[in-house]
Chain A
Amino acid sequence: MAPPAQSQRSSSPSQPSGKGEVSDLKSQLRQLAGSRAPGVDDSKRDLFKKVISYMTIGIDVSVVFGEMVMCSATSDIVLKKMCYLYVGNYAKVNPDLALLTINFLQRDCKDADPMIRGLALRSLCSLRVANLVEYLVGPLGLGLKDNSSYVRIVAVMGVLKLYHISASTCVDADFPQTLKHLMLNDSDTQVVANCLTALQEIWSAEASTSEEASREREALLSKPVVYYFLNRIREFSEWAQCLVLDLAAKYVPSDNNEIFDIMNLLEDRLQHANGAVVLATIKLFLQLTLSMADVHQQVYERIKAPLLTLVSSGSPEQSYAVLSHLHLLVMRAPYIFSSDYKHFYCQYNEPSYVKKLKLEMLTAVANESNTYEIVTELCEYAANVDIPIARESIRAVGKIALQQYDVNAIVDRLLQFLEMEKDYVTAEALVLVKDLLRKYPQWSQDCIAVVGNISSKNVQEPKAKAALIWMLGEYSQEMHDAPYILESLIENWDEEHSAGVRLHLLTAVMKCFFKRPPETQKALGAALAAGLADFHQDVHDRALFYYRVLQHNVSVAERVVNPPKQAVSVFADTQSSEIKDRIFDEFNSLSVVYQKPSYMFTDKEHRGPFEFSDELGNLSIGAESAAGTVVPAHRVEANDKDLLLSTSEKEEIRGPSNNGSAYSAPSYDGSAVSAASQALSELTILNPSVPGLTPQSNLAIDDLLGLGLPEIPSPAPAPSPPLLTLNSKAVLDPGTFQQKWRQLPISLSQVYS
C-alpha cells in the first residue's frame, strides 16, 4: 500500500535521482503558491507536470504535498486535474495533509462548471482516507441531486467508493435507497447503469448481515427491474449493456415464452461491434436455454457465425479471448462446428497458444466427413518451424485416429511421419502408433513393418523409447530383430536414465522371452541381473518379481506378464464432465480462459498475496504444466488418505490437467497392470513365496498387486479388477482414478516430467 518506492527501479541516467530535484521543485512551488502574477498558471503547469512525471516514474514526491495544495487555488482546469491526480495518489499515506485538500475540493464541488464539480467530487471520493468520510456525505448528497448528468454519474460511483471506505456511513446516509430511486427514475442511462453497479455491489456485501439488503438484492433480479433494463438496453453505452446482460443472465424466467421474449429482444446484440457485448449476449442465451435441448441447439447454430467473425476480425488479444470461449463450445458440441473446421486452421503468424487451442478444436470437430481434410491439414503442420506445434499436430492426428472408426488413411499418414527422419516427429509418431495398436491390433502388420525399420539409436525421448520397447516386446514374433535390439538396449542399461524406460525394457524382454526363448534367454538374464542391481526401487522390485515368478513356474509367469489382451476401446478423458459443466456455467469469465472452474483459483484469492503464489504460478503457465505433475509430495500423501472417498472437491482441485490427453494414460506399463488383474488367482496362491509383494511396501505397483491378497487390508485405491477395465461401477469415476493413479508417489512420474 505504500507509494511506489524509489528503490524499486534502478534509476537510469535520464531519470532524476530524486532528492535534489524534488526539494528544488518544493521551493519553486512555494514561490508560486502565493503569486497572482499573470502567466503564473503556465509556470505552475510546468512544475505540476514535472511533479506528476516524477510520480509516474516512481519517485516519491509526497514531500511537496503541502505546496501542491497551496498551489491548487486556480481556475485552470488542467492544473486542477493534475492536482487531483496528485492528491489522489498521496492522500492515503498522508491522511493529515489530505485534510488540507478537503477545503478546496469541497469548494470545487460547488463550482458553476459541472465538469469541475464532477472532477472535484470524483477526487474527493478517491482520497479514501477513513477519517475524512464525514466530509464526503454532504457533497455526495448534493451530487446525486445535481442537474448535470455528468456530476450524477460521478456521484453514484462516489457512493460506492464511500461504501468501501466506510460502509456504515454510506448506509446511515441512506444512499442505497437514493441510488435505487435514481436507478429507476433517472433519465441518463449512464447514471442508471452506475446505480446498478453500485447497488449490486453494496447489497451483495450487505446481504450477509442485513435481511433488508438481501431482499433488495433479490429485488434487483425481479421481473419488473430486469425488464426495465432490458427494454432500454439499446440506450445504454456498450459497457453498460454488458452489465445489463450480466444481470439478465442471473434472472430466472418463469416460463418458456418469457425466454423467447428475452431472446427476441436481444437478438440484435449479437451483431454489436463490441465483442464484450456479443459474448455477454451469448452467455445469456446459453443460460436461458439450458433446459430446452432443441432450442439450445438452435442457439449454438445462431451464435456460431458471430463468434467466428469475432475471432477473425479483432486484434490477436481479442481473438484469443473469443477463441477460448469458442473452444469451450466446440468441446461441448463438436458436431455443430464440424462444417466450420476450416476456421480452426492455423495461420503461420499466430502465436502458439492460439495454434494450440485451434489444434484441439480441429481434433474435436473431426468426423467421418471432414477427417480427410483435417488430417491433411494437420500433416502440413508437422513440417512447421514451431516444434511444439509440430508435435502437437502429430498428437492431434493420433487423437483423431483414436476417435474414428475408419482409420485406414490416418495410419498411412502416421507411418509417413515415421519416415520423415526428424527426431521429434519420429518420437511423437512412435507414441501414437503404440496407442493405435492398443486400440486397433488389426493394424499391427502394417505398423510393425515400418517400426521395424526405425533404429533405436535415433529414438532418445523416454516416452518414445518406452513406446518402441513396448512394441518390440508385444510384437517380438513379427519383428525379426526384436530380441537383438532388446539385447543391445540392455547392454546400455546403465546409460538409460529414465526408470520408466527400464521398466518397459524389463517387461518387453520378458514378453520376448515367452515368444522366442532361445534367442532371448541371454538378454533376459542380463536384464534381470541389471534390474536387480538397479538403484531404483520400482525397477528393482519388478525385476525381483519377474525373477521369482519365473522361478516358480514359467507358464504362470507368461500368464502374468503376457496374457492375451483386449483392445482398449476408449481412452479416459482427463477432464471430468462435471468440471466441464462448471466451466460452461461460468461462460464469459476467466474460468474459460484458464479452462478451470473459478473456485479452483478464486477461492484462494483472499488468503493473502503470497500464500498461494506457487499454485497460482502454475495456473498461469496453464496448458504447459499439468496440475497433476506439479503436485508437491506432501499433498499427494495427504490425499492418499481419502483415496477411497468418492469425488470430493479436494480431489477435483488437483484433478483436471489440460495437457493430460490420452497419451499419458498408457505410459505406465499397461501390460504389468493388466497382468496383475488377470493373474490374481495365481497370485493369491503365490503370495507366501513372493516377498516382493509384502504389504509394508507402500509403492503403488505393489499396492496394486497386493490388492488381490485377501488377507491383507488393502490400502490401495478402489477395487482392483474393475479399475483396470474401468467399469462404470467403480467407486471413483475413471477420470478421477486415472488422476489419482498418476499422482501416486512412484518413480513413474518422471515419465511425465
Chain B
Amino acid sequence: MLQCIFLLSDSGEVMLEKQLTGHRVDRSICDWFWEQAISQGDSFKLQPVIASPTHYLFQVVREGITFLACTQVEMPPLMAIEFLCRVADVLSDYLGGLNEDVIKDNFVIVYELLDEMIDNGFPLTTEPNILREMIAQPNIVSKVLSVVTGNSSNVSETLPGATASCVPWRTSDPKYANNEVYVDLVEEMDATINRDGVLVKCEIYGEVQVNSHLSGLPDLTLSFANPSILDDVRFHPCVRFRPWESHQILSFVPPDGQFKLMSYRVKKLKSTPIYVKPQLTSDAGTCRVNVMVGIRNDPGKTIDSITIQFKLPPCILSADLTSNHGTVNILTNKTCSWSIGRIPKDKAPSMSGTFVLETGLERLHVFPTFQVSFRIMGVALSGLQIDKLDLKNLPNRPYKGFRALTRAGEFEVRS
C-alpha cells in the first residue's frame, strides 16, 4: 500500500505531490531522498528501494524525472516499482514525452491520471486504453477541437464502457473506416565477447508489437513457423493461454492501438552479425589501440547505424584516435564514440591511435569495454518467423502488415 507519490525534477524540486492515504507523508522526505541521491553522485546510482528514517521509498527515474513512492508497511517491492513504471509510461504516452516543463504545464492532467490509477494506495487501472477514455489526451487535436466546439473540458462526457466490459483492455466499440493491423517483431541482441574474443553470452530479447485499428470486437490468431525456438514467453493479458499451451498459437482480442502482445527470449545464439576486434598493447607509458569492425555473419540485409562507444579509463591522460571510415569523437566525459554507419564494401573499417597514460604508469591495467550498437531492418535475428495472422469477426477485409527489426541491446566487447 503506497502512501504518497512525488514527482521530482532533475534538480530535486518537488513538481507534484499526491497523498494517497490518511497518513500524510511530509514533503521533507524528498529533501532526505535528494541528499542521498547527491551523496551517491547521481540519483541513477541509488537503489530503487531505499529505507529512509521514516518510510520505505521506491524510486524510478525516467528522462531525468524521479518518481518517488513512499510506504510504511511491508508490500511487494516489485508491485510498487512496476506501478511507478506504468505511471511513467502512461504519463509519457499522454504528454508525448517526459520532461520537467511538460509535467509542470500539464500537472492537472497528471493529478487526474493519478487519481484514476491509484486509490487509497492500491493500484486500480493502469490500462492506457481505459484511462484515455476517462481523461482526454492534451494533444493538438483536442485543443483544436475545444476551440471549434467551445467545449474546453478535457474529460470525456461518458464513463468508459470498458470498466464494465468483459474485455477490460478494449474500448467498447471503436469504428474505423480503414481496418488495419500491423505486427512488428522487434528484437534486441545482447552479447558479451570476452577479452580472448570468445562469445561468452549471446541471446535475444524480442517483442511482438501490434498496432491494431480494427472495428468492433475482432478475434485474432497469430501463429509462428518455428515457435519451438522460444525459450520463455510473456503475454499481454489479452492472450488466451490454452491455445498457446496446446498449439503455440496466439489467440486474442486486441486492445485498440499500439500494444506489446508478447515478449520472448531466445538463448544460446551461436554468432553475431558483426565482429569488433579491439587490440591494446601498452609500453612505456603509451598504449596503442586498434579496433577492427567487419561483417561476420551476413544477415542478408544491410546493417546500419553501427556505432562503437567506450569510456576511456581514468588513468588515460589523452587519446589520439583516427579511423579510416566514419567519425571518431571524444566527449568531455571521456566517452569515445566512433560512428561507422554502414560497413563499406571495399574495406573493413578500423580505428587506431594511441593513449597517453598517467605519468608513472607503464602499462594499462584497466581496460575499456566497447559497446556496440547497430540496427538491421527486415530481419529478426533469432530466426523467429510469423506464419500467418487470421482475423475473425470483422465486417470487411483488413490490411495486414508485417515488419521485423533487430538492434543491438547490451552488446559489449571487452578488451
Contact = CB atoms under 8 A, between A and B. Distances in A.
Interface in B302-326: 311, 313-314
A678 B124 CA distance: 67
11 contacts: A77-B155, A78-B112, A113-B157, A243-B122, A309-B263, A317-B48, A348-B369, A351-B47, A373-B200, A385-B311, A425-B365
Interface in A43-95: 45, 49, 52-53, 56-58, 76-78, 81-82, 85, 88-89, 92
A739 B371 CA distance: 43
Given A122-B119, A352-B45, 5 more contacts: A77-B153, A351-B45, A383-B367, A588-B78, A617-B53
B77 A308 contact: no
B372 to A, nearest CB: 11
The 4 closest A-B pairs by CB, nearest first: A613-B53, A268-B241, A305-B232, A239-B123
A237 interface: yes
Contacts of B388: none
B125 interface: yes
B139 interface: no
B48 A237 contact: no
Given A122-B119, A272-B237, A273-B235, A589 B200 contact: no
B15, B53, B134: which has the most chain A beta carbons within 10 Å? B53
B240 to A, nearest CB: 9
A71 to B, nearest CB: 16
Contacts of B245: 268
Interface string A690-731: 000000000000000000000000000000000000000000
Contact of B79 (A89, A239, A325, A384): A239
B50 interface: yes
Given A58-B14, A619-B51, A588 B76 contact: yes
B234 A272 contact: yes
B40 to A, nearest CB: 10
Nearest to A379: B195
B354 interface: no
Given A78-B153, A148-B159, A385-B314, A377 B205 contact: no
Interface string B233-271: 111110001000100000000000000100111000000
B265 A308 contact: yes
Contacts of B15: 56
Interface size class of B (residues with CB under 8 A): 35 or more
A306 B234 contact: yes
A4 interface: yes
Contacts of B219: none
B374 interface: no
B22 A317 contact: no
Given A239-B79, A305-B231, A347-B410, A273 B120 contact: no
Interface stretch (A159-167, A207-215, A359-367, A537-545): A159-167
Contacts of B83: 239, 276
B78 A616 contact: no
Given A89-B19, A317-B59, A239 B78 contact: no
A622 B13 CA distance: 26
Interface in A259-314: 268, 271-276, 278-280, 305-306, 308-309, 312-314
Interface stretch (A150-158, A489-497, A668-676, A744-752): A150-158
A141 to B, nearest CB: 19
Contacts of B26: 1-2, 4
B50 A164 contact: no
A238 B53 contact: no
Which of A49, A88, A317, A598 has the most CB atoms of chain B within a 10 A radius of its CB?
A317
B75 interface: yes
A246 B163 CA distance: 23
B193 to A, nearest CB: 11
Interface in B13-69: 13-17, 19, 21-22, 24, 26-28, 31, 36, 44-45, 47-54, 56, 59-61
B93 interface: no
Interface string A1-33: 110100011000000000000000000000000
B198 to A, nearest CB: 9
Contacts of B60: 315, 317
Contacts of B44: 351
Contact of B164 (A113, A149, A239, A274): A149
Contacts of A425: 365
A505 B119 CA distance: 64
Contact of A165 (B22, B124, B195, B260): B22
Given A42-B152, A602-B74, A150 B159 contact: yes
B144 interface: no
Of A271, A421, A612, chain B has the most CB atoms within 10 Å of the CB of A271
Interface residues of A, number: 118
B47 A622 contact: yes
A589 B125 contact: no
B203 to A, nearest CB: 8
A115 B107 contact: no
B76 A280 contact: yes
A661 B231 CA distance: 35
B22 A342 contact: no
A306 B77 CA distance: 17
A562 interface: no
Contacts of B27: 4, 8, 58
A88 B21 CA distance: 11
B313 A385 contact: yes
Contacts of A682: none
A566 interface: no
Nearest to A588: B76
A272 B22 contact: no
A157 to B, nearest CB: 5
Interface in B78-100: 78-79, 81-85
A609 B53 contact: yes
Contact of A78 (B52, B108, B241, B260): B108
Interface in B114-166: 115, 119-120, 122-127, 134, 152-155, 157, 159, 163-164, 166
B78 A322 contact: yes
Contacts of B54: 609-610, 613
A420 B365 contact: yes
A552 interface: no
Contacts of A88: 19
B35 to A, nearest CB: 12
Contacts of A187: 164
Given A194-B122, A590-B74, A422 B237 contact: no
A590 B123 contact: no
Interface in A516-561: none
B251 to A, nearest CB: 13
Interface in A161-215: 161, 164-165, 187-188, 190, 194, 197
B201 interface: yes
A601 B76 contact: no
B131 to A, nearest CB: 12
B190 interface: yes
B366 interface: yes
Contacts of A194: 119, 122
Nearest to A55: B17
Contacts of B14: 9, 56-58
A376 interface: yes
B51 A620 contact: yes
Contacts of A251: none
A243 B121 CA distance: 13
Nearest to B18: A85
Given A309-B232, A312-B265, A620-B50, A161 B22 contact: yes
A77 B152 CA distance: 10
A242 interface: yes
A605 B155 contact: no
A345 B201 contact: yes
B51 A154 contact: no
A362 B104 CA distance: 45
A385 B50 CA distance: 26
Contacts of B115: 81, 85, 119, 122
